[in-house]
A and B are shown apart, each in its own frame.
Chain A
Amino acid sequence: MNRITRRSFTALGTAGATAALAACGRSESDGAGTTAEEVAEGPATGTVTVWAMGAEGEALPELITGFEEENPDVTVEVTPVPWDSAHDKFTSAIAAGTAPDLAQVGSTWMAEFVGLDALEPTPESFAMDDYFEGAAQAVTVDGTAYGLPWYVETRLLYYRTDLAEQAGYSEPPTDWDGLMAMGQALQEKADAEWGIALQPGGQGSWQTVLPLMWSAGGAVVDEADGSFTFESAPNEEALAYYQSFFTEGVSDPAPAEGTTEQDFVSGRVPMFISGPWMMAAVEALGEEGFADQYSVAVMPAKETSSSFLGGANIGVFQGSENRDAAWKLAEYLSRPEVQVQWFELVTALPSLQTAWEDETVASNAKFEAFHTQLETAYAPPLIATWEQVASRFDAQIEEVCKNDLAPADALATTQSEAEGIGTGA
Chain B
Amino acid sequence: MTASPDTRAEPQIPRGAGSPPRGRSRRAAGEARAGLLLSLPFLVLFLVFIAWPVLQSMIMSFTDMRISDIRTPFAVEFVGLENYRTAFSDPVFRRAAANTAIFVLLGVPLTITAGLAAALALDRGVSRLRSVFRIGFYTPVITSIVAVAVVWRFLLQPENGLVNTVLGWVGIDGPNWLGDERTALLSLVAMAVWRNFGTSMVIFLAGLQAVDRQLHEAAALDGAGRWQRFRHITLPSIRPTMLFVLVTTSIGYLQFFEEPFVMTSGGPLNATISASMYTYNQFGFGNYGVAGAMAYLTFLVIALVTLLQFRLMREK
Which residue numbers of A lie inside 8 Å of B, CB to CB?
10, 13-14, 16-18, 20-22, 24-26, 29, 87-88, 91, 94-95, 97, 112, 115-117, 202-203, 254-259, 384-385, 387-388, 391, 395, 398-399, 402-403, 424
Contacts and interface: CB of A to CB of B under 8 A. Distances in A.
A43 to B, nearest CB: 33
Contacts of A22: 73-74
Size category of the binding interface on chain B = 20 to 34
Interface stretch (B122-130, B226-234, B235-243, B262-270): B262-270
B56 interface: yes
A101 to B, nearest CB: 18
B265 A203 contact: yes
B52 A254 contact: no
Interface of B is mostly: loop
Given A256-B176, A257-B178, A391-B281, A95 B55 contact: no
A97 B21 CA distance: 61
Nearest to B55: A13
23 contacts: A17-B59, A21-B70, A21-B73, A26-B71, A88-B284, A91-B67, A91-B286, A95-B71, A112-B67, A202-B265, A202-B268, A203-B265, A203-B267, A254-B179, A255-B179, A256-B159, A257-B178, A258-B153, A385-B285, A387-B285, A391-B281, A395-B269, A398-B269
The 6 A-B pairs with the shortest beta carbon distances in the complex, nearest first, are A21-B73, A254-B179, A13-B55, A388-B285, A17-B56, A25-B71
B19 interface: no
B158 interface: yes
A21 B180 contact: no
Interface in B172-222: 176, 178-180
A416 to B, nearest CB: 13
B179 A13 contact: no
A17 B284 contact: no
B68 A398 contact: no
B68 A115 contact: yes
Contact of A18 (B73, B157, B176, B178): B73
Nearest to A16: B52
Contact of B55 (A14, A116, A258, A385): A14
Interface in B54-78: 55-56, 59, 66-68, 70-74
Contacts of B179: 254-256
Nearest to A202: B267
A399 B159 CA distance: 24
B161 to A, nearest CB: 8
A106 B235 CA distance: 55
A25 B158 CA distance: 52
A399 B178 contact: no
Given A10-B55, A14-B55, A254-B179, A387 B269 contact: no
A254 B265 contact: no
Contacts of B71: 24-26, 29, 94-95, 97, 116-117
A254 B284 CA distance: 27
Contact of A395 (B56, B157, B159, B270): B270
